[in-house]
Amino acid sequence: MTKIGYIGLGLMGAPMARNLMKAGHELVVHNRSQEIVKMLEGEGAIAAHSPKEVAEQVEVVFTNLPDSPDVEKVALGEDGIIEGAHEGLIFVDNSTIKPETARTIAEKFSEVGVLSLDAPVSGGDIGAKAGTLTIMVGGDESAYEKVLPLLEVIGKTITYIGESGAGQIAKAANQVIVAGTMVAMAEALVLAQKCAVDPAKVVQAISRGAAQCWALDNKPARLFKRNLDPGFKAHMQAKDLKIVVDTARSYQIAVPQTSLAHQLYEAMIAMGNGELDNSAVVTVLEALANTTVQSDTDLS
């Protein structure tokens, strides 16, 4: 049994923390919103009042936070993890942040003897609940080997990529493809609908051919029912795409398709739909085509 800290108990973090606890590990938790903390307390977790207090009590501390400034504040700020640093502590960040931020945090932690891993995840809330996430890891390889049994509790496909920041680069590449396939799927559904062809029948026809992808396998049935509840929120998708675009600019890489996808997600936010699922980018294309994707065909 390992004593673990988990900071950031949102849509992804809470089920990941629960899985670690269900695996028999002692859990110390902290979150800005206290409702989920109280729920996890009721399930056996220990509440802490600050990231510092979490770090002081545990062997490994995980974070899962919205953006780079949030992780930097929790890790390095006042009452942050670094103030509770002690010999043997390992920091694992499951957030999606800028690679350069991951490298800065790792460097600062190394100065106080803390090993760091950037370990962003993919798979949405479904994967978080099921413990089947894809985890991309950068940082100290010896730390990776030590925490691998914990990562295997929350993920199914776990890959050590390389030095600090490498996990975040892999996640950026992942988001290029995730956003691209979500937008492509949305365009295909709107095309079928506008041409007066049942989009569900189109999905049935193409989903086992060369067009097969995770988005097409998992999202259309929900979209046809107008179930746009988030598995991964659109505003977070937009944030991740900004990281891709900014990183590409830093390395002088052209990412035209991803730049367009980023604009579509920003348009979705401007429409007031940023809290919806990232597949709801279809609403932007529906508005442009003056149509609504719908079907009564059962895709089960």
Instruction: Report, as residue numbers or ranges, the catalytic residues.
Output: 171
Q: Which helix (H) or strand (E) holds 300?
A: none
Q: Collect all residues with Cβ–Cβ distance below 8 Å to 138 and sequence separation of at least 6.
A: 102, 117, 118, 119, 161, 162, 163, 164, 165, 166, 167, 168, 169, 170
Is-contact 247 99, C-beta < 8 A? yes
Is-contact 67 239, C-beta < 8 A? yes
Is-contact 4 28, C-beta < 8 A? yes
Q: Please state, in angstroms and rounded to a whole number, the distance separating the CA atoms of residues 50 and 40.
A: 16
Backbone angles phi, psi at 121, to 5 degrees: -125, 160
